[in-house]
Chains A and B, each alone.
Chain A
Amino acid sequence: MASRNIIELRNLAKTYDLGTVQVPALKGLDFEIKEGSYTAIMGPSGSGKSTLLNILGCLDRPTSGAYVLGEDDVAGMSDKELSHIRGTRIGFIFQSYNLIQQLDVVENIHLPLFYQGKDIKEYYDHCAKMAKKVGLGDRLEHRPMELSGGQQQRVAVARALVNEPLMLLADEPTGNLDSSTEAEILNVLDELHREGRTLVVVTHDDAVAERAERVIRLKDGLVDEDSLHTSNDIREIPQE
C-alpha cells in the first residue's frame, strides 16, 4: 500500500503508578496504521487492549514512547491540546452508544462540531446529511430514548463522522447489540471502509475482527501477533 501512515507508534509504553507498585500495561509497542485501512485490535482482558484504546483515542498519555497521529506527536500534549485532537482527528464509537439523552439526533451528531465552535445553524444540513448516510434521515428530531439500539449506534457512527476525522476508533461497537443488528452495524463499518476511511476497532469478538483486513493481537502489553488476512484461517486466540 502506498498510502501514508495515519498512526505511528514508537516504543509506546504505559505504566500505571499505583503508589506502592508500578503496573506496566503496555511494554513497548511499535506499529503503523495506514490511511484507509481497517484494523482490529484484539486480546484477552489484561492484555493492554483498553489502555491502548485510551491512548489511541487521546484520552490518556503514554508514559514513554511516541504516538504520531497525523503529523503530530501527541504523546506530550496538554489536556487542552488533546481535547482539540479528539474533537478534530478522532471519531469515537462506543459500546454503549453514549448519546446525550437530552439532545435529539441532529444535536447529538453536531456535538463534536459544537466543541469546535461551529454553530448548529450553519452545520444543520451537514449533520442531517450524516444522519441520512446512516439511514436515519427520517429520525432527525428523535431523542435517543425513542430509538432502538441499532439506531442509536448509527447515530453514534454519524456523530463520529461529522468532523471528518483521520480515524474512526470503535470500542466493541457491537457489544450491546443482537446478532442481526450487529451485522447491520458491521455492514455500515464495511461501507465506511470502502469509502476509504481509516477504521480501528477494539474488540474481543472474532466476528467483528473477521471484517477487518488486519488484526493486531496483544498479550501482556506487547504485540503478540500482527497479521493481514483476507480469509478466516487465523484462529489463534492467545491464552491468558
Chain B
Amino acid sequence: MVGSSFIRIIQAGFKSLRLHKLRSMLTMLGMIIGVWAVITLVAIGEGASHDAQEAIKALGANNVIVRSMKPMEDKVQLQGEMQWVSHYGLNNADATRILKTVPGVKRVLPILIHRKNVLHGKRNVDCRLVGTYPHYPSFTQSRIVAGNFINEMEEARQENSCVLSHDLAKKLFAGENPLMENVTVRGFESWQVFRVKGILEERTDLEKLPKSSKVMGKTLSTNVYIPLSTFKALYGVKNIDLSVGSVSSEIVHLTEIRVEFATAEEVIPALDLIKDALDKGRNGKVDYEIQVPINELNTLRAQKARDTRLLMYIACISLLVGGIGIMNIMLATVTERTREIGVRRALGATRGDITMQFLVETLMLCLIGGGIGVVGGWLFATFRHNIMHTTTIVTEWSVLLAFGLSVTVGLIFGIYPAQRAAHLDPIEALRHS
C-alpha cells in the first residue's frame, strides 16, 4: 500500500464509523474503560508504592529500628487492674551493647518519646516529646529549616532547649518566628518551659508507614525534640498516659534505638546478633521488636510486582471483553454492509483491500477507544495527584501496555470479521438486500 492511499483508507474508516456515531461510541466503550482502568489502577498502585518506598527509604536502607514493645503477658495482666505499672523495654545499656558487640554497626541513636501537649500563647497542640541525641538530624536525614538542632553542650548541661518539627511550628506559631521563643510542654504531672532553638523537617513523615503506625498511634508530625538528658532529668522514665481514657502507667527507658550500619549489605546478617545482644540482658522476655526497613522495602517491591501482575491480568481480561464486543459489532457491520462489500468488489477491490478496510475500522475503534482511555486515565490521575493530593503516578509502561493491548486486541478481533468480509462472494453480496 502506498502511503497516501493508506491515509485514504483511514479517512474512509472514519467516514464509516461516523455513519453510526452512537454505535461506534458504545463499541469503543469497552476499550475506553479497559484502558482507563489499566492506567488509573497502575497509577494509584504506583503512587501508593512510591509513598511507602519513600517512607522506608527515609528510615534508611542500612538502618535497623529496635522498638520497645509491651510484652503480651503484661497486657493480659493489666486488663483487669489498670493501676499496674509495667516495666519493660529498651535502655541505654542495650544501645551500648549493640554498638559494641554487633559488627558493622556504625552508630546508634536512642530515642525516648512521650505524648504531651505543647502550648504557646493561647494555642496548644498535642505533640510527641522526643528525647534524643544531637546527631538525630544526620541520622534520620532530616533537614534543619531554621536555627540549629540541639548541640552537645545542651545535651551535657541538660538544658531546656527544644527543636520543633516543621508542622508543629506552623500550627503553634502561625507565621510568627518561633526561634528563641518559649513553649510550654504540659504533661500529667508537670509543666516545663523550653526555648525553641530550631525547626526540623523530617525527611518523610514516619507515621505514614503502614507498619509503624500501630506502634506510634495516629498523630501528625508534631514533634518537640529535646536533649535526652534533659528528658530524663525532667520526666524520669515513668510515663503516665491518659489518652486512652484509662490510666496506664509504664516505665520505659528508651522508646526506640536506631542502629545504623555502614552498608545495607551488612544489615540482614547482623539481625541475629542484634537479637543476641538484646536477649543477653533479658531473661527470655520479649519486650522489643525489630523493624528492618530494607526487608520491608524488599517485601514491598515483591508485593508491587505481584500487584502489577494482577493488574495485567485484569487489564487483559477487560480488554479481552472489550475486544469480543468489538468483534461482535464488526461481524454485525459486515453483514449489514454486505452489499457495500459487493459493490466495492465489483469496482475492483481485491480481497486484500476489503480485509484492510475492515481491519482498519476495527483498529481505529480500538485506537480511538484506547486513546480516550489513556487521556481519561491521565486526567483522573492528574486530578487525584494535584487536587486530591494523593500521590498518583502515571507510568509510561502502563500507557504503552494499554495502547499495545488495544492494538493487539484490534488485530486479533478485527482479522476474523475482515476476513469474512473479504471472502464474501461478490455476486451474493451484490444481491444482498
Q: In the complex where A101-B19, A114-B5, A119-B8 touch, is A159 in contact with B427 (Cβ < 8 A)?
A: no
| Cβ-defined partner of B351 (8 Å) among A59, A80, A98, A111 | A80
* Contact residues, A79-136 vs B (CB, 8 A): 79-80, 83-84, 86-88, 92, 94, 98, 100-103, 111-112, 114-117, 119-121
The answer to whether B347 touches A87, judged by C-beta atoms less than 8 angstroms apart, is: yes
Say how far A111's CB is from chain B's closest CB, in angstroms.
5
| Cβ-defined partner of B350 (8 Å) among A79, A98, A120 | A79
Say how far A54's CB is from chain B's closest CB, in angstroms.
5
Question: Which residues of the partner chain B approach A54 to less than 8 Å between Cβ atoms?
Answer: 427
Interface size on A, residues (CB 8 A): 29
Q: In the complex where A60-B427, A79-B351 touch, is A100 in contact with B340 (Cβ < 8 A)?
A: yes
Say how far B341's CB is from chain A's closest CB, in angstroms.
10
The answer to whether B427 touches A116, judged by C-beta atoms less than 8 angstroms apart, is: no
Question: Which residues of the partner chain B approach A121 to less than 8 Å between Cβ atoms?
Answer: 4
Question: Which residues of the partner chain A approach B427 to less than 8 Å between Cβ atoms?
Answer: 54, 59-60
Chain B contact residues: helix, strand, loop or mixed: helix
Q: In the complex where A102-B15, A102-B16, A103-B15 touch, is A83 in contact with B348 (Cβ < 8 A)?
A: yes
The answer to whether B350 touches A92, judged by C-beta atoms less than 8 angstroms apart, is: no
Question: Does A150 lie at the interface of the complex (its beta carbon under 8 Å from any beta carbon of B)?
Answer: no
The answer to whether B430 touches A98, judged by C-beta atoms less than 8 angstroms apart, is: yes
- 0/1 per residue, B18-38, Cβ < 8 Å to A? 110000000000000000000
Say how far B198's CB is from chain A's closest CB, in angstroms.
73
Say how far B24's CB is from chain A's closest CB, in angstroms.
12
- 0/1 per residue, B276-291, Cβ < 8 Å to A? 0000000000000000
| Cβ-defined partner of A92 (8 Å) among B15, B16, B346 | B346
- Distance between Cα atoms of A111 and B347 in the complex (Å): 7
Q: In the complex where A60-B427, A159-B347 touch, is A114 in contact with B19 (Cβ < 8 A)?
A: no
Question: Does A57 lie at the interface of the complex (its beta carbon under 8 Å from any beta carbon of B)?
Answer: yes
Say how far A223's CB is from chain B's closest CB, in angstroms.
22
The answer to whether A117 touches B350, judged by C-beta atoms less than 8 angstroms apart, is: no
- 0/1 per residue, A42-68, Cβ < 8 Å to B? 000000000000100101100000000
Question: Which residues of the partner chain A approach B12 to less than 8 Å between Cβ atoms?
Answer: 102-103
Say how far A135's CB is from chain B's closest CB, in angstroms.
22
A interface, CB within 8 angstroms of B: 54, 57, 59-60, 79-80, 83-84, 86-88, 92, 94, 98, 100-103, 111-112, 114-117, 119-121, 159, 163
